[in-house]
Structure 1
Amino acid sequence: MKAYVFPGQGAQFTGMGKDIFDANTKAASLFRQADDILGFKLTDVMFNGTADEQKQTSVTQPAIFLHSVAIALTSDSFKPDMVAGHSLGEFSALVANKTLSFEDGLKLVSKRALAMQHACEINPSTMAAIIGLEDKAVEEVCASIDDVVVAANYNCPGQLVISGSMKGIEVACEKLKAAGAKRALPLQVGGAFHSPLMEPAREELAAAIKQTTFSKPICPVYQNVNALPSVDVEEIKKNLIAQLTAPVRWTQSVQNMAKDGATIFIECGPGKVLQGLVKKIVPAAEVSSL
Structure 2
Amino acid sequence: MADRPETPDSETQWRTAGDRIQTLLDSCAAGGPAAHERAQRLVREVVELYGAGLQRIMALSADTPGLAERLATDDLLASLLLVHGLHPHDTRRRVADALDRVRPYLGSHGGDVELLDVVFQQGGATVRLAFQGSCKSCPSSAVTLELAVEDAVRAAAPEVCAIEAVAAQPAADVIPTESLLAHVHSNGDNHSSGSTWHPVPDLAALEPGEVAGFLISGTALLVCRVGDLPLAYRDHCPVCDDSLAGARLRETLLGCPRCGTQFDVVRAGAGPGGTHLEPLPLLLRDGVPSVALPEPMGAGA
TM range (shorter): under 0.3
* TM score, norm. by length of structure 2: 0.23
Larger Rg: 2
* TM score, norm. by length of structure 1: 0.24
Higher RCO (CA < 8 A, seq sep 6+)? 1
More strand by percentage:
2
